[in-house]
Amino acid sequence: MKKSFAARTAFGLGLLLGSGSALAATTLTIGTVNNGDMVRMQALSKTYTEQHPDVELRWVVLEENTLRQRLTTDITTGGGQFDIITIGAYEAPMWGRKNWILPLEKFSPTYDVDDLMPNVRKQLSVDGKLRALPFYSEGSITYYRTDLFAAKGLKMPEEPTWTEIRGFAEKLHDPSKNVYGICLRGKAGWGENMALVTTIVNAYGGRWFDEKWQPQLDSPEWSQAVNFYVDLLSKFGPPGPSSNGFNENLTLFNAGKCAMWVDASVAGAFVTDKTQSQVPDKVGFVKAPRQVTPKGSSWLWTWALAVPSSSKQQQAAFDFIQWATSKEYANLVAKRYGISAMPPGTRLSTYANAEYMKATPFARVTQEAIQTANPDSPTLKPVPYTGVQFATIPEFQAIGTLVGKSISGALAGSSKVDAELKKLNESVQRTIKRAGYIK
Amino acid sequence: MSEAARESRRAGRLTASPAILLLFIWMIVPLAFTVYFSTQNYLLLDPENRGFAGLENFSYFLSSSSFLNSLVTTLELVGSVLVITVVLGVLISVLVDAKFPGQGVVRMLLISPFFIMPTVSALIWKNLLMNPVSGLFAWLFQLVGLTPINWFSDWPLLSIIIIVSWEWLPFAILIFVTSLQSMDQEQKEAAQMDGATPVSIFRYLTLPHLARPIAVVVMVEAIFLLNIFAEIFTTTSGGPGDATTNVPYLVFTQALLEFDVGTASAGGLVAVVLANLVAAALLRVFGKSLTQA
């Protein structure tokens, strides 16, 4: 009896000590998106933990919408599950204003804050103070197949208009050969089809709200833009476009089925990657299409890392996000995955690097798209909100979701665009009134 | 009632009460929270502006165009699936009721879809069967030279109805087959002796015998079908447009896509009332056959 008790005690102590030695001093829980670049970060983080043996990283990697739901419910209810969160340009300023995420100052001397792109910094700051650090940024650009254009004797201008794009799509559309004139986002969602549709509306001179917060969905600009988009995509797009988002279109383009594609500049690295694209050397890159104005015709989106105020390990978390958004990290990616894979759109030094510019055919277009998209003055006519393809207000998620659903329905042919826009305008007005923007 | 019997009944109630109380708390706490939230202005993304909203959330939810549309969608979905599962269920059950070699295996196969998780079967239908490019149906259509149907964009609600019917048909068959086994064989033989055709046997003997199981199937399925969510979430996400948004899915979008706790709670309560209305209506129609011995 006695012996067994001693044995048991020893065994228990052994367990405690054994597990104790395996426990790191600090465990950081990181919530992030399952995009290619973030998955790379997870793989490369071993380098960080080798330098910081006392830090252990726990990764929660989820699909974008699911992650947004998890993070939002956790942050807004003060759950405190996460030490580091991956958020977008939409959440960063709003959550910062509410002090749900920490203001970031006292950077390490090697970080070089002034090297971050001004527009990107603006997107992530509240009153001039950074609230999140940019992991990568993207604008929207036009991808086109140089071989198909050459075969038909067409020439893509540096700054095409949507009307020109339609002309090309008509000439290149050949479903019998499994080539569609143009691939565009049709899947409902404020960050899916509405990102693209808003840039088309902007190009047509439209806007979400006027200076008095009156929604503008029943304006002639919206009608022209949305009718144009639905007509273009249903006539010269792939079958069933209402279920295609970024990833579905990327798959189509990489399989050689799209003559043109207007989408995030971050796809440049994927369409030119020999391991996943069948047309890596046949892709050309120009600016996103304009129409009556170039203003707001290319979106601006940044994925960034932030530290929630509810985190207990703020210093350690801050240290990690500096590492993950540093020049040192970018060089690590270049070494491991090739120079074109460096996180795009965040640092001036990346675009001052001659080697990168030479190796990366989409670098210049990406840089221009990000430099010209101005979230503070996104549209031709003045607006009361900031943000190019979204309005940085808490209600926008609901509004964008609703409008996105209707437009994808119109694309599937279940409704008429103009009647739908009138109805939407009323719903948006209701939401905005209820939130107290319109007195 | 004798003193002893009363005593033992009291003891019975007393001993059962903790369990009943626990179940009651289990139910009432979430419900009370939902009722409380439904009277609050509560956007998760804008918590400072929390406050009493009265019935505004309800009027907002009920007056939105999506609500009426989702109500119609819900009833269409429940109604169609009920009709399909009951009609096909009865016919298939009668078919496999007759003796034939391999009967046991066939019955097993008929019942198996019921044990597949809703998300899994929805994904199988979406990707392996109904996909317009790589699905089995598309391949069959191309074999005979037809253009494949783009199920989820051209016939979204029909696609969901087909999937859900396939999931619930086994349940109906299970109940009907069991019930047919208790049917009076002598009566059937007597009818055959009198020269009754199989059709009239089915009409005058089998159907009346199945009245009660049909009522059970309709009641149980209706309660479950009102809450169909996983199949919609994994295939169409309520789209295109609003085509496949039923009431539960609408509540989900309010809560987790728009982070509007108040309106979502109001919507949840509306869904509870709706379920009770449907159940009451069904009880009126089918209740008779449940209570008649």
- Which domains are present in chain A? 5-131+301-354 (3.40.190.10), 139-299+373-434 (3.40.190.10)
Tokens of residue A295, six digits: 């203003």
pLDDT at A323 (0 to 100): 97
Model confidence at B65, in pLDDT bands (50, 70, 90)?
Answer: confident
Tokens of residue A407, six digits: 């437009």
Q: Is A70 near chain B, with CB under 8 Å?
A: no
- Scan residues 34-53 of B and list those with Cβ closer than 8 Å to A: 43-49
Is residue B278, in this structure, part of any structural domain at all?
A: yes
pLDDT at A33 (0 to 100): 92
Is residue B14, in this structure, part of any structural domain at all?
A: no
**A25-81 confidence digits (pLDDT tens):** 899 999 999 888 999 999 999 999 999 999 999 999 998 888 988 998 899 888 889
**For chain A, what percent of residues have pLDDT higher than 70?**
94
* Min Cα separation A306/chain B (Å): 17
What CATH number corresponds to the domain at position B86?
1.10.3720.10
CB A182 within 8 A of CB A261: yes
Chain A residues with beta carbon closer than 8 angstroms to that of B241: 405-406, 408-410, 412, 414-415
Is residue B44, in this structure, part of any structural domain at all?
A: no
Region B114-121: mean pLDDT is: 91
pLDDT at A378 (0 to 100): 94
Torsions phi, psi for A31 (to 5 deg): -100, 125
Residue A245 pLDDT > 70: yes
Q: Are strands A260-264 and A283-287 parallel, antiparallel or unpaired?
A: unpaired
Substitution target from B67, B252, B257, B261 for chain A, most A beta carbons within 10 A: B257
Cis peptide before A160 (omega within 30 of 0): no
**B135-170 confidence digits (pLDDT tens):** 899 899 989 988 888 888 889 999 999 999 999 999
SS3 A88: strand
The residues, any chain, with a CB within 8 Å of residue A414's CB and separated by 6 or more, are B240, B241, B243
Chain B residue with minimal CA distance to A66?
B256
Partner-chain residue, chosen from A77, A401, A410, that has the shortest CB–CB distance to B253 = A401
Cis peptide before B240 (omega within 30 of 0): yes
Substitution target from B153, B252, B254, B263 for chain A, most A beta carbons within 10 A: B153
Substitution target from A76, A187, A192 for chain B, most B beta carbons within 10 A: A76
| Strand ranges in A89-238 using DSSP code E only, listed in sequence order | 125-126, 129-130, 133-145
Overall number of domains in chain B? 1
Would you give the distance in Å from CA A143 to the centre of its chain? 17
Give Cα separations from B45 to A68, A132, A174, A282, B119 (angstroms): 12, 18, 46, 44, 30
Taking phi first (over 0 means left), then psi (-120 to 50 degrees means alpha), and beta for anything else, what does residue A128 get? left
pLDDT at A19 (0 to 100): 45
Torsions phi, psi for A40 (to 5 deg): -65, -40
Chain A residue with minimal CA distance to B154?
A412
| Strand ranges in A313-439 using DSSP code E only, listed in sequence order | none
Chain A residues with beta carbon closer than 8 angstroms to that of B44: 72-73, 76-77
Residue A250 pLDDT > 80: yes
Q: Among the ranges A237-241, A260-264, B44-48, B198-202, which has the highest mean pLDDT value?
A: A260-264
Model confidence at A16, in pLDDT bands (50, 70, 90)?
Answer: very low
pLDDT at A20 (0 to 100): 43
pLDDT at A13 (0 to 100): 47
For chain B, what is the largest distance between any 2 Cα atoms, rounded to a whole number of angstroms? 82
Residue A340 pLDDT > 50: yes
Is residue B248, in this structure, part of any structural domain at all?
A: yes
**B220-264 confidence digits (pLDDT tens):** 999 899 999 999 998 888 878 888 999 999 999 888 877 889 999
Is residue B208, in this structure, part of any structural domain at all?
A: yes
Partner-chain residue, chosen from A406, A423, A434, that has the shortest CB–CB distance to B60 = A434
* Min Cα separation A408/chain B (Å): 6
CB contact under 8 A, A69 and B256: yes
pLDDT at A7 (0 to 100): 52
CA dihedral of residues B65, B277, B209, B292 (deg, nearest 10): -170
* Min Cα separation B167/chain A (Å): 24
DSSP state of B227: T
pLDDT at B159 (0 to 100): 95
CB contact under 8 A, A72 and B258: no
Of A308, A321, A193, A214, nearest in space to A262 by CA? A193
Strand partners, A136: A303
Q: Is B26 near chain A, with CB under 8 Å?
A: no
Model confidence at B293, in pLDDT bands (50, 70, 90)?
Answer: very low
Residue A14 pLDDT > 50: no
Give Cα separations from B128 to B124, B125, B134 (angstroms): 5, 6, 7
Model confidence at B46, in pLDDT bands (50, 70, 90)?
Answer: confident
Q: Is A422 near chain B, with CB under 8 Å?
A: no
Partner-chain residue, chosen from B48, B132, B239, that has the shortest CB–CB distance to A239 = B132
Chain B residue with minimal CA distance to A423?
B65
3-state secondary structure A113-137: HHHECHHHHHHCEECCEECCEEEEE
User: Can you tell me the distance from the alpha carbon of B140 to that of A211, in angstroms, rounded to the nearest whole number?
Assistant: 56
Partner-chain residue, chosen from A72, A243, A430, that has the shortest CB–CB distance to B44 = A72
Q: Is A179 near chain B, with CB under 8 Å?
A: no
Residue A398 pLDDT > 90: no
Which residues span the domain enclosing B282? Answer: 65-291
CB contact under 8 A, B259 and A94: no
The pTM assigned to this predicted structure is: 0.81
Q: Among the ranges A141-150, B47-56, B232-241, which has the highest mean pLDDT value?
A: A141-150
Chain A residue with minimal CA distance to B49?
A435
Residue B106 pLDDT > 50: yes
CB B263 within 8 A of CB B254: yes
Q: Chain-wide mean pLDDT for chain A?
A: 91
Is residue B264, in this structure, part of any structural domain at all?
A: yes
Region B15-19: mean pLDDT is: 92
Of B246, B245, B234, B239, nearest in space to B275 by CA? B246
Is residue B56, in this structure, part of any structural domain at all?
A: no
**B270-289 confidence digits (pLDDT tens):** 999 998 898 888 888 877 76
**A409-425 confidence digits (pLDDT tens):** 999 887 789 999 999 99
Amino acid, res. B165: S
Q: Is B257 near chain A, with CB under 8 Å?
A: yes
Measured at the CA of A367, the angle between CA A385 and CA A249, to 5 degrees, comes to 80
CB contact under 8 A, A242 and B240: yes
**For chain A, what percent of residues have pLDDT higher than 90?**
77
Model confidence at B292, in pLDDT bands (50, 70, 90)?
Answer: low
* Min Cα separation A266/chain B (Å): 25
pLDDT at A63 (0 to 100): 84
Model confidence at A1, in pLDDT bands (50, 70, 90)?
Answer: very low
CB contact under 8 A, B241 and A414: yes
pLDDT at B289 (0 to 100): 66
pLDDT at A15 (0 to 100): 46
Is residue B221, in this structure, part of any structural domain at all?
A: yes
